[in-house]
Amino acid sequence: MIGFPYTSADKYGRTMSSSDLSPASLREAFGCFPIGVVAIAAEVDGDKVGLAASTFVPVSLNPPLVSFCIQNSSTTWPKLKDLPALGISVLGEAHNDAARTLAAKAGDRFAGMETESRTSGALFIHGTNVWLETSIAQLVPAGDHTIVVLAISDIVINPDVAPMVFHRSEFRRLEA
């Protein structure tokens, strides 16, 4: 029987405690939740700007809304936050390298990726399984992140692309 708060040993013999709320523990705990990864991107003065995000969540059908969380320390977000449109590309199972490239601190975040930009400025990655053209509807402060609520203006679905699942710091594919 598990009490609360509880401690137990994991398969490596490490003690897991429910009262350990360090950033490392929280990252490990949050990482147990399997989730997809998206690219959030736009073209800004001819440059491709974007990042990888695993906090993407569908929010509402009517009106059509999605959200993701951006860390308040992001140096990329200030370049995106005032744009009229942001492209969201849901990464597929072949995008392990792309996910890391899109999160790189230095270098071309779109290296090796075929992209498409819309007249709105929204930027998409080819070979991904869903494209959502969006605009920022609401910003909600939430601790060291901000919840960005986005209104969807257009959708492209490519059902033939199998999804990628981010789980415990690894990019995994679903079993067929």
Ligand X SMILES: Cc1cc2nc3c(=O)[nH]c(=O)nc-3n(C[C@H](O)[C@H](O)[C@H](O)COP(=O)(O)O)c2cc1C
> Quick one: which of 41, 42, 49, 51 contacts ligand X (CB under 6 A)?
51
Element (H, E) at 102: helix 96-102
Pairing of strands 130-142, 86-90: antiparallel
Cβ 172 to ligand X, closest distance in Å? 12
> Quick one: which of 37, 90, 125, 148 contacts ligand X (CB under 6 A)?
37
DSSP string, 108-135: -TTTT--EEE-TTSBEEETT-SEEEEEE
Residue among 70 and 123 whose Cβ is closer to ligand X? 70
CB distance 95 to 37 below 8 Å? yes
Residue among 102 and 150 whose Cβ is closer to ligand X? 102
Residue among 14 and 34 whose Cβ is closer to ligand X? 34
Q: Write out the residues near ligand X by the rule CB under 6 A.
A: 37, 51-55, 68-71, 74-77, 99-100, 102-103, 166
